[in-house]
Amino acid sequence: MNRPPKKFLSPGHNACAGCGQLVAVQAVMRGLDEDTIIANATGCLEVTTTAYPQSAWGLPWIHSLFENAASVASGIKAALKQKKDGKTKVLVQGGDGGTYDIGLGLISGMWERGENILYVCYDTEAYSNTGIQASGATPYGASTTTTPKGSESIGSTQAKKDMLAIALAHGLKYAAQSTAGYPDDITNKVKRALDVDGPSYLQILSPCIPGWQINNDEAVFMGKLAVETALYPLLEYKDGILNASSITGSFRAKPVAEYLKKQGRFKNLSEEDLKHIQSLADANLKRYRL
């Protein structure tokens, strides 16, 4: 009798309807096999998939703190090495808060040690789990609960941290970014990352329904639009060299206003603010064009 393939993440989770992160996670799971252990930082993904006493995971899965998922993964890898198990892969999952901010030092240590671990960051551009506070991934102009829009404020005035560049600065052989708008791209990048002997990093823009103030059927659409405006291009680096990009010679970007004006978090932007954000996309067109 033919049995259906085992689901590594069942539909029995309690994420928001239309959650962009869960779209991205399912795409990541399709790139794995049963010989995988997952270390998961505290965050939306953890609380929505493991409400005690149940779990939506079909793989060995370990919850750690916000900051130390990379260290837990290092311990798992050490135990596998002691058992002479070279087959089982180790995956770390975290949000942008646990990646860009709270866990950055421990991630850096894991990368410096050259450990054969894939780190996946689901970038919602805020601390979505704890109340939509600003993180190091929050883009200019976004309203959050700690950078609220108002009569005297547009929202965040910080620049989004370039986490991909930080990964590359550690000498990673494979580093890439994608969005929830392109599930097949995510799956393919996971497979290529796991073929690398050494640490690898995949960052995925994961639109958050309440945080971005979008409709619950718009996460995938917004993930595509982020790429089409060049604000969040699909990128892949191998051995420190840009190997693939959604910005090719024939690429023509849509205006960033098409992306920003569909999100409630950007409702307070002036024309000057729009011009500034457009300049960021224009810089990406030059930096990442192949």
* Mean pLDDT of the 178-204 span: 98
Range of the domain at 164: 20-287
Q: Is residue 8 part of a domain?
A: no
CATH number at residue 161: 3.40.50.970
Rounded distance between C-alpha atoms, residue 78 and residue 157, angstroms: 42
**Model pTM?**
0.96
Confidence category of residue 2, pLDDT binned at 50, 70, 90: low
- Take residue 8 and report the two structure tokens written for it: 């590594």
Predicted local distance difference test score (pLDDT) of residue 5: 58
* Within a domain: 12: no
b/e string for 180-210 if b means 16 or more Cβ within 10 A? bbbbebbbbbbebbbebeebbbbbbbbbbbb
5-14, 81-90, 108-117, 129-138, range with the lowest pLDDT: 5-14
| Domain-located, residue 53 | yes
Q: Is 155 inside a domain boundary?
A: yes
Residue 218 pLDDT > 60: yes
Give a yes or no: residue 167 inside a domain: yes
Give me the pLDDT at residue 12, please.
Answer: 78
- Grade residue 7 by pLDDT with cuts at 50, 70 and 90: confident
Each residue's pLDDT tens digit, 139-187:
999 999 999 999 889 999 999 999 999 999 999 999 999 999 999 999 9
137 lies in some domain: yes
In a domain, residue 144? The reply is yes
Confidence of residue 13 (pLDDT cuts 50, 70, 90): confident
> Average pLDDT of 260-287?
97
> Quick check: is 3 in a domain?
no
Gap between the Cα atoms of 183 and 171, Å rounded: 27
The string of DSSP letters for 190-246 reads: HHHHHTSSS-EEEEEE---HHHHT--TT-HHHHHHHHHHTTSS--EEEETTEEEEES
Sheet strands side by side (includes 61-63) = 61-63, 36-40, 89-95, 118-123, 200-205, 174-179, 235-238, 241-245
Whole-number pLDDT of residue 52: 87
What is the number of structural domains in the chain? 1
Percent of the chain having pLDDT more than 90?
A: 93
